[in-house]
Structure 1
Amino acid sequence: MAAVQVVMSCSLLYYAVNAPGVIYIVSVVMGSCYGAHWAIVPSAVLELFGLKSFGALYNFLTLASPAGSLIFSGVIVNAIYDYEAKIQRATNLNTLTDGEALTCYGTICYSITCGILSVLCLMAFVLSMIVVYRTKRVYAKLYGNS
């Protein structure tokens, strides 16, 4: 999981710097990482917490995805996008008429968001490494030192 988090973080930083053809590369890498994450997490939860509480924990993890999506898409990304659109609108000296939506152009609209998500992925990497460190002794006893 830690390796997947690092790849996701690098991918999001790559999007934030606006390289040519970035959306295609980032879409494939992020999709692969997201799929790998959902393939690894259930087995990691089962391994760490056992079968007794697996159902509750798996449902909690399944709920975390839409909850995080709601928070990031509905609150954080929306506020950043509107802020950048207002800056672009003010720079062009245009006023907003009734019924006209704010529109943001360029990668600046989502660069800050990708930077925030990249930092969160790095935090997830650190937390994953803490779990690895704390469970290292248990696995050494179970499977030997190899």
Structure 2
Amino acid sequence: MAIGHFLLAMAWPGVMYVGTLLIGLGYGTHWAVVPATASELFGLKNFGTLYNFITLANPAGALVFSGVIASTIYDYEAQKQAHSRPLSTEDTLQCVGAVCFFLTLMVMSGLCIFAAVLSMIAMHRTKVLYANLYGKSLS
């Protein structure tokens, strides 16, 4: 997903298809893997509650990210563009070009990398547990 967000941020010709594909595959993998991972790590006793919190995390994060972070960055870029061209009284702030969402997409890419690092830490910490449960791994 980080690579997909980076590609979208660069706005090279034709790269939107590849970036969208990578981001879609990442989200699909996330929704397939997270419930199984949560049940493995925390058990099935309170799985319903845990699954509901996992399900709520996506819209809550989208609300914070799109409602606060992305809109603030977009308005800032639109203000910068408004100063460079004359506005009539009926015009609203508009941002034109790839610069409008460049920083937003780079922040998303950074957050995806941060999440991958956290996942690697969780994998490393649970490796001992799984080695004790199922025997030594070959890796």
Choose from 48, 73, 82 the match for 1:80: 73
* 1:118 corresponds to: 109
Deviations 1:55-76 (A, max 9, x none): 1111111011000010111111
Contact 2:6 2:106 in 1 (8 A): yes
Percent of pairs identical after alignment?
50
The alignment partner of 1:145 has SS state of coil
Q: CA deviation at 1:23?
A: 1.7
Kindly report the root-mean-square deviation, in angstroms, between the aligned alpha carbons of the 2 structures: 1.1
Q: CA deviation at 1:101?
A: 2.3
Q: TM-score, normalised by structure 1?
A: 0.89
Q: CA deviation at 1:96?
A: 5.0
Check if 1:23 corresponds to 2:5.
no
Q: CA deviation at 1:95?
A: 2.6
Structure 2 residues not aligned, in runs of 5+: none
The alignment partner of 2:94 has SS state of coil
**Amino acid across the alignment from 1:141:** N
* 1:95 corresponds to: 87
Q: TM-score, normalised by structure 2?
A: 0.93
The number of residue pairs the alignment matches comes to 137
Q: CA deviation at 1:16?
A: 1.4
Check if 1:141 corresponds to 2:124.
no
Structure 1 residues not aligned, in runs of 5+: 1-7
Deviations 1:44-100 (A, max 9, x none): 0001000012111111110110000101111111111111111111111x13524x3
**Amino acid across the alignment from 1:136:** K
Distance 2:88 2:122 in 1: 50
Q: CA deviation at 1:26?
A: 1.3
**Amino acid across the alignment from 2:132:** K
Check if 1:61 corresponds to 2:54.
yes
Deviations 1:14-52 (A, max 9, x none): 111221112222112111110111000000000100001
- Greater relative CO, 1 or 2 (CA 8 Å, sep 6+): 1
**Amino acid across the alignment from 2:87:** T
